[in-house]
Amino acid sequence: MKGANREWAAVADDRELMRRVAGGDHGAFAELVRRWDGPIAAFLVKAAGNPEPAADLRQEVFVRAYRYAASYDPQYALSTWLFRIARNVLATWHKKRTRQWALEQDPAWTPERRDPPPDVRERLTEAEDRERLDAALARLEVEDRELILLRFERELSYREMAAVMDAPETTVKSRFYAALARLRRLACGAEDAEERKQVP
């Protein structure tokens, strides 16, 4: 087993790894899972807003990665391809959950076009605010939550995010800033205060 680990450690290039996975190499697939299981799992747990379905969602991501390995385009980073699969799996899960619960989703929110202050990220990621931030993140719409996680947790560029989201880069950037503004309001309790004002 140790010899196998050394062998795969030498295959550092993701493109070669995916070529072998596409060829049905089970060892290559095991290495793919080893390399990406942690990041994918962390993304799914936070993006779903609930750790319970993460195990099944993560398994489905890698099932699809194996099944469609031959469709991987090496001009894109492997991370972009995998997170796009993860996002599709999450979207399918969310739709099924919505139908099952038969509940109305939150009314569509009209994003503000105003950019948030430059210090938002620093203040929101302070250790003492982490619990409040996680709670606010869980209250975001799924797509907003994905944008925040891809940018801050996975540190993808806007170009990479656009590839994952299958949308123009300018659109993704605009949506990201809108999501960040809403996250800030939720974390600071501003949105709750506004809701209370509207209650007769």
Q: What tens digit of pLDDT does each residue of 93-111 get?
A: 877 765 544 333 344 434 4
Same domain, 177 and 120: yes
For the whole model, what pTM was predicted? Answer: 0.62
- The verdict on 59 and 155 lying in the same domain is no
Q: Residue 112 above 50 pLDDT?
A: no
**CA angle (146, 141, 123) in 5-degree steps:** 65
Say if residue 96 is in the same domain as residue 117: no
Considering the domain architecture, whether residues 99 and 114 belong to the same structural domain is answered as no
> Do 35 and 81 sit in the same domain of this protein?
yes
CATH code at 199?
A: 1.10.10.10
Same domain for 61 and 111, yes or no, is no
The percent of residues above 70 in pLDDT, for the chain, comes to: 71
pLDDT digits (tens, 9 = 90+) for 148-184: 888 887 888 888 888 888 889 989 989 988 988 888 8
Domain extent, residue 93, equals: 1-105
CATH for 31: 1.10.1740.10
Cα distances (Å, whole numbers) of residue 95 to 48, 109, 138: 12, 19, 17
**CA 169 to chain CA mean position, Å:** 17
The answer to whether the CB of 81 falls within 8 A of the CB of 34 is no
Q: State the average pLDDT over residues 47-70.
A: 87
Average pLDDT of the chain, as a whole number: 76
48 pLDDT higher than 50? yes
3 and 95 fall within a common domain: yes
> Same structural domain for residues 10 and 66?
yes
Domain shared by 83 and 2, yes or no: yes
* 96 and 124 in a common domain: no
Q: Residue 172's closest CA among 137, 155, 147?
A: 147
Torsions phi, psi for 136 (to 5 deg): -65, -40
Of 67, 84, 105, which one is at a domain's C-terminal end?
105
* Number of domains present in the structure of the chain: 2
Give alpha helix (H) positions in 23-168: 26-48, 54-67, 78-101, 120-124, 130-139, 142-148, 158-165
